[in-house]
Copies of this chain bind each other. A is one copy, B any other.
């Protein structure tokens, strides 16, 4: 999925739910689409500060809830009492998180996905989304901790 399509999907969803396509919502979505990779609420709030339109933190949260509901944004990491989001433009993947430097490495392992499906079937569980976080030390921090 690309940015244009994402925006179209958003407008479609907005219309379906009888919501409104406001300047604030557009600004927030644009900002998220321009953010490469992972982001936090503060990033969005901060980056919009320089724009000619004002968007409050509350509106960012409210818009994120819409984006989560429609599945365009996912809470991919919960770490350090923070939520890290990601826009679903790429194929699904999971994360390695370095607890020392905070680096995030993405990986995709089809075999793990398949096994998860198998497990859900076993339990007659209907999955909507999942999150696999592996915490530890990245290559560099691993080296440094051995010194």
Distance in Å: Cβ of A57 to nearest Cβ of chain B = 16
Report Cα–Cα, A128/B126, bound state, in Å: 30
Give the size range of A's interface with the partner: 20 to 34
* Contact status A142-B127, CB under 8 Å: no
Chain B CB within 8 A of A59 CB: no
Tell me which residues from 26 to 54 in chain A have a Cβ below 8 Å from any Cβ of chain B.
none
Does the CB pair B136–A126 fall under 8 Å? yes
By a CB distance below 8 angstroms, the chain B residues around A109 are 115, 119
A91 at the B interface (CB under 8 A): no
Inter-chain contact B128/A131, CB cutoff 8 Å: no
The answer to whether A123 and B107 touch across the interface, beta carbons within 8 angstroms, is yes
- From B99, B122, B131, B142, give the contact of A133 (CB < 8 A): B131
Are A130 and B130 neighbours in the complex by a CB distance under 8 Å?
no
A residues with CB within 8 A of B: 78, 96, 98-99, 105, 107, 109, 111-112, 115-116, 119-120, 122-139, 142
